[in-house]
């Protein structure tokens, strides 16, 4: 069965530290990849997405992610986090059907 793994369940960083959240998926075909973010008390919203082309994609608020097909990975990065980045982050995959598969999420806490 298709699945998405997010290895870090809880991450605590100080402001200005660099961030990398891991995401691996299990599906051998073409996939479309997403990162969503849920700030405290807010809706889930799209952070960035990859459909095709340049495997390094940039999203909102300085986030970026790199699709490495050979590693089935789509890791999220940010060079310098801010307190306002405190949120829960979800990686999601769709193999091009109607079905979207989400990871279990990573809770990020940034200390001021």
Partner 1 sequence: SQTIHQWPATLVQPVGSPLSLECTVEGTSNPNLYWYRQAAGRGLQLLFYSVGIGQISSEVPQNLSASRPQDRQFILSSKKLLLSDSGFYLCAWTAVGPPYEQYFGPGTRLTVT
Nearer to partner 1, 36 or 63 (CB): 36
Shortest reach from residue 56's CB to partner 1, in Å = 18
Shortest reach from residue 109's CB to partner 1, in Å = 15
Residues paired with residue 100 on neighbouring β-strands, in sequence order = none
Shortest reach from residue 16's CB to partner 1, in Å = 28
State both tokens at 24: 């691996």
**Which residues contact partner 1 by CB under 8 A?**
4, 6, 9, 32, 34, 36, 43-46, 49, 51, 90, 92, 94, 96-105
Nearer to partner 1, 66 or 88 (CB): 88
């Amino acid at each position: 069965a298709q699945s998405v793994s997010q290895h870090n369940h809880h991450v605590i960083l100080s402001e200005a530290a660099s961030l990398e959240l891991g995401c691996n998926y299990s599906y051998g075909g073409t996939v479309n990849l997403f990162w969503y973010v849920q700030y405290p008390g807010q809706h889930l919203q799209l952070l960035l997405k990859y459909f095709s082309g340049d495997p390094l994609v940039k999203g909102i608020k300085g986030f970026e992610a790199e699709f490495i097909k050979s590693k089935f990975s789509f890791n999220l990065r940010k060079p310098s986090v801010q307190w306002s980045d405190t949120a829960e982050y979800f990686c999601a995959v769709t193999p091009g059907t109607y079905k979207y598969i989400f990871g279990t999420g990573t809770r990020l806490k940034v200390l001021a």
